[in-house]
């Protein structure tokens, strides 16, 4: 019998709606949303961005995970890895007995047709999907529609003989999944570029300005290209795409950099035949980035708190936007607000957590607050209560 794949939920939404609200909703946050996104308590003012927190894709993925547990109470339910990049949500799922294939001691080789596997919002590689199918597992696919849209574009690139240039992090699950789609039965190629610096390097190569060999090129992008990638051959026709959660301004700029490089190399008349681009930043990411930019412009706060997992790409990008304009603290959870003097946070662009003292100014203070697409409202509410407590000390 072919494996069963649920792609549209399991018809149990009404049965999990209560527990989801209990686990992730916040009355306080709801109240603040209804009060023009502003909260005042004593000397503290908190301004929330007009868009923050759970996006439609995460909402759906978490909903389906709870439905899965409900539908298969007697079967072992696995996630391929983190369902989203938020430790609180992942811990809640673990507490329900859902196991993570990425945990030590777990193995795909041990799965069989009795097992149920949930695929995360950012999707899985074709290779992993095939393995799960071969093992006969029942699957619940929560891949977000916006990720599927990226896949559609890179598949088109491959069909047309274009190499996909993916603006993203080559280790990120979504980018790995997208890259696998760009291969299209071995016919396509991909190159992942992380930022403008890497894009500028590749553009220089396209223009013939980099006096380097293919081998040197490949050593720089060792883990970020498809097998057998030949920069001389595979950069002649390119299509740009991106991980859905990148900084949209950077993605657009990178697209323009590649367009200019191809024009310089092959001429305007050949551009259509050699260059394609689609903006595949998802609307939820775009809305959250736009909202925080608006907050900083309309109600400039004394400092920003950005709440979300340190490995959450969209949260890191929100922190990056804010940090250029105002003191910004990216905290993984409300626990990061250690005291009125001490905060534990990840500085934008750095890999490690830092501890900073003297972060909360004396006197009246306005704090801007936003959270990543994988951060539930109850954590935002808890952070606001903690800010209230600390400012009252
Ligand atoms: S961040 Fe965007 S692509 Fe990712 S799950 Fe949310 S809506 Fe979907």
Looking at residue 354, what is its pLDDT? 98
Tell me which of 174, 216, 269, 389 is the catalytic residue: 174
State the pLDDT confidence band at 280, using cuts at 50, 70 and 90.
confident
Phi/psi at 97 (5° precision): 90, 10
- Whole-number pLDDT of residue 184: 74
The answer on pLDDT for 302 being more than 70 is yes
Q: Where are the alpha helices (DSSP H) in the chain?
A: 13-24, 27-34, 56-71, 87-95, 126-134, 145-159, 173-183, 196-206, 214-220, 231-234, 248-266, 271-274, 283-298, 313-323, 377-391
For residue 83, pLDDT over 90 is answered with no
**Residue 268 catalytic?**
no
Number of C-beta neighbours around residue 273 at 10 A? 13
Looking at residue 87, its pLDDT comes to 86
Mean pLDDT of 1-8: 82
66 sits in which H/E element: helix 56-71
**pLDDT of 212:** 84
71 pLDDT more than 70:
yes
Residue nearest to atom 2 of ligand 1 (CA): 282
Whether the pLDDT of residue 339 is over 70: the answer is yes
Q: What whole-number distance in Å separates Cα of residue 295 and Cα of residue 161?
A: 43
Whole-number pLDDT of residue 329: 98
Report the nearest atom of ligand 1 relative to the CA of 56: 7
Q: What pLDDT, on the 0 to 100 scale, is given for residue 187?
A: 79
CB 41 within 8 A of CB 364: no
Whether 306 lines ligand 1, by a CB cut-off of 6 Å, is no
Q: Are strands 44-48 and 38-41 parallel, antiparallel or unpaired?
A: antiparallel
Reported as a single tens digit per residue, the pLDDT across 177-218 is 999 999 976 679 999 999 999 999 999 999 998 788 889 999
Among residues 156, 145, 182, which one has the least CA distance to residue 282?
Answer: 145
DSSP states along 93-118: HHHTT-EETTSTT--GGG--TT-EEE
The answer to whether the CB of 153 is under 6 A from ligand 1 is no
Tell me what percent of the residues of the chain surpass a pLDDT of 70.
99
Q: How far apart are CA 26 and CA 43, in angstroms?
A: 23
Longest C-alpha distance within the chain, in Å?
68
The mean pLDDT value for 87-107 works out to: 93
**Global pTM?**
0.92
Output the average pLDDT for the chain.
95
Question: pLDDT at residue 255 above 70?
Answer: yes
Mutate to test the pocket of ligand 1, among 54, 56, 64, 247 (most ligand atoms within 8 A of CB): 56
Does position 88 have pLDDT exceeding 90, yes or no? Answer: no
Task: Measure the CA angle with vertex 320, ends 292 and 170; round to 5°.
Answer: 120
Q: How many Cβ atoms are within 10 Å of 355's Cβ, its own excluded? A: 11
Work out which ligand 1 atom sits closest to the CA atom of 145: 8
């Amino acid at each position: 019998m072919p494996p069963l794949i649920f792609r549209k939920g399991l018809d149990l939404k009404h049965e999990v709606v209560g527990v989801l609200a209990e686990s992730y909703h916040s009355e306080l946050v709801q109240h603040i949303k209804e009060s023009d996104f502003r909260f005042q308590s004593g000397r503290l003012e908190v301004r929330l961005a007009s868009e923050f927190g759970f996006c439609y894709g995460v909402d759906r993925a978490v909903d389906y995970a709870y439905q899965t547990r409900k539908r298969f109470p007697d079967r072992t339910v696995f996630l391929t890895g983190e369902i989203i990049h938020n430790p609180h949500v992942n811990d809640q799922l673990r507490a329900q007995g859902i196991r993570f294939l990425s945990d030590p001691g777990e193995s795909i080789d041990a799965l069989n047709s009795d097992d149920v596997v949930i695929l995360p919002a950012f999707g899985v590689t074709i290779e992993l999907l095939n393995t799960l199918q071969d093992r006969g597992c029942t699957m619940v696919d929560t891949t977000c529609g916006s990720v599927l849209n990226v896949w559609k574009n890179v598949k088109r690139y491959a069909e047309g003989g274009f190499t996909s240039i993916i603006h993203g992090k080559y280790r990120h699950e979504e980018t790995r999944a997208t890259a696998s789609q760009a291969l299209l039965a071995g016919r396509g190629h991909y190159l992942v570029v992380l930022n403008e610096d890497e894009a500028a390097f590749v553009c220089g190569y396209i223009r013939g300005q980099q006096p380097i060999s293919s081998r040197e090129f490949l050593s720089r992008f060792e883990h970020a290209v498809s097998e057998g990638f030949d920069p001389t051959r595979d950069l002649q026709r390119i299509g740009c795409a991106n991980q859905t959660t990148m900084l949209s301004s950077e993605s657009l700029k990178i697209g323009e950099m590649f367009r200019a490089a191809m024009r310089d190399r092959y001429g305007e008349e050949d551009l259509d035949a050699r260059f394609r681009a689609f903006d595949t930043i998802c609307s939820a990411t775009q809305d959250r980035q736009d909202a925080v930019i608006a907050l900083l412009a309309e109600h400039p706060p004394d400092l920003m708190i950005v709440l979300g997992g340190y490995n959450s790409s969209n949260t890191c990008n929100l922190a990056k936007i804010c940090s250029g304009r105002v003191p910004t603290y990216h905290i993984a959870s409300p626990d990061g607000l250690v005291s009125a003097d001490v905060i534990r946070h990840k500085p934008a662009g750095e890999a490690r957590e830092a501890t900073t003292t003297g972060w909360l100014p004396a006197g009246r203070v306005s704090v801007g607050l936003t959270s990543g697409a994988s951060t539930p409202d109850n954590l935002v509410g808890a952070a606001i209560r903690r800010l209230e407590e600390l400012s009252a000390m």
